[in-house]
Amino acid sequence: MLPNIPTSTIRCGLAGWLYQHWNGLVYPEPWPRGIHRLEFLSRFLDVVELRPGFEGPLRPEISRLWVQKVVHNPRFRFVAKLDASFTQERRIEERKKRLFEEGLRPLMEAGRLGCVLMQFPWSFRFTKENREFLIRLRRCFHSYPLAAEMRHASWMSEEALGTFIDYHIGFVNLDQAEHIKAMPPTSLLTSSIGYVRLLGRDKGAWLEDYSKPPESAPGGDYLYTAAELEEWVRRIRRIQSFASEIYVVAANDGGGKSAVNALQIQTMLEGRKRLAPRWLAGRRSAA
């Protein structure tokens, strides 16, 4: 049994929230009138990653609406994922940067922006050129706390981690399927922000393709066991004493499994049960 350590800085949640295949799984059917899906989720969890292009463009009026829908949960934060044109196509366009920042402004002003997430594909290995591009992105978005997800193990080198530390970029600790030179499970902290993402362990599900809409390409259809989540609880505890904020995000959205695992790891970390949708309560992962 792990000691009961205060977890005020830890927020558990989901990668995305507008999934058609969640209807009747995470979201009840028929859907109750007058309730926004973000309002519903923020009753149970404390963070959601926003994905421009899937949840819609990050426009100021939409951001203001989202802030209003989570007002009842003071712990709730949004993480805004950079558009793939920055991280996959590696194009830094002033117009896209300006539009993205305009959309972020209401979240920043309301104190609801946790950080900005830079998600790179497995093919983005640690090279001199890629290191320089990462630094360019850091400077481009210097006004925001940043975290970077690297799926290739070359980013565990001493020089690579030194770059994260020098430029105050949070290191995203991943759980993903085994693959050649895939980033292994870690418990690294390179800035004041700790970050954990559970991608599922379906081989090939998360290597490269970020472009398809989530309803046609659900992230891993993998339900973590309680024992597997307990391993991550231990890793999170190791970085907890040094981080100001920790985000634990489940991205295995196939079949609504991310919602199940996010609620479960939240319970493990807090040492107490929170309310959960009754139709999810019976889908807990096995010991």
- Give the pLDDT score at 221: 83
Distance CA 115, CA 241 (A): 19
| CA–CA gap between residue 124 and residue 100 (Å, rounded) | 23
- For 247, the enclosing helix (H) or strand (E) is strand 245-250
CATH number of 10-281: 3.20.20.410
pLDDT at residue 227 in the model:
97
pLDDT at 9: 85
**What pLDDT is attached to residue 276?**
63
**Distance (Å, rounded) from C-alpha 189 to C-alpha 169?**
9
Residue 253's contacts (CB-CB under 8 Å, 6 or more residues apart) are 14, 15, 16, 19, 21, 22, 214, 218, 219, 220
Question: What distance lies between CA 76 and its chain's CA centroid?
Answer: 13
Q: Is the torsion defined by CA of 164, 170, 175, 177 positive or negative?
A: negative
Give the tens place of pLDDT for each residue, 17-71.
999 899 988 998 889 899 999 999 999 999 999 987 666 678 999 999 999 999 9
β-strands 47-50, 10-15: how paired?
A: parallel
C-alpha to C-alpha distance for 270 and 16, rounded to whole angstroms: 23
The structure's pTM equals 0.90
Q: Which residues contact 92 (CB under 8 A, 6 or more apart)?
A: 86, 136, 137, 140
Cα–Cα distance between 93 and 87 in angstroms, integer? Answer: 12
Angle 18-185-196 (CA atoms, 0-180°, nearest 5)? Answer: 40
Q: Could you state, in order of their start, the residue ranges of all structural domains in the chain?
A: 10-281
Q: Indicate left, alpha or beta for 65 from its phi (over 0: left) and psi (-120 to 50: alpha).
A: alpha
Q: Is the dihedral of CA 277, 282, 284, 287 positive or negative?
A: positive
Residue in 138, 136, 135, 236 with CA at minimum distance from that of residue 189: 236
Residue 256, sorted as left (phi over 0), alpha (psi -120 to 50) or beta, turns out to be left
Tokens of 181: 């030179």
- The residues of the chain scoring below 50 in pLDDT are 1-8, 208-218, 286-287
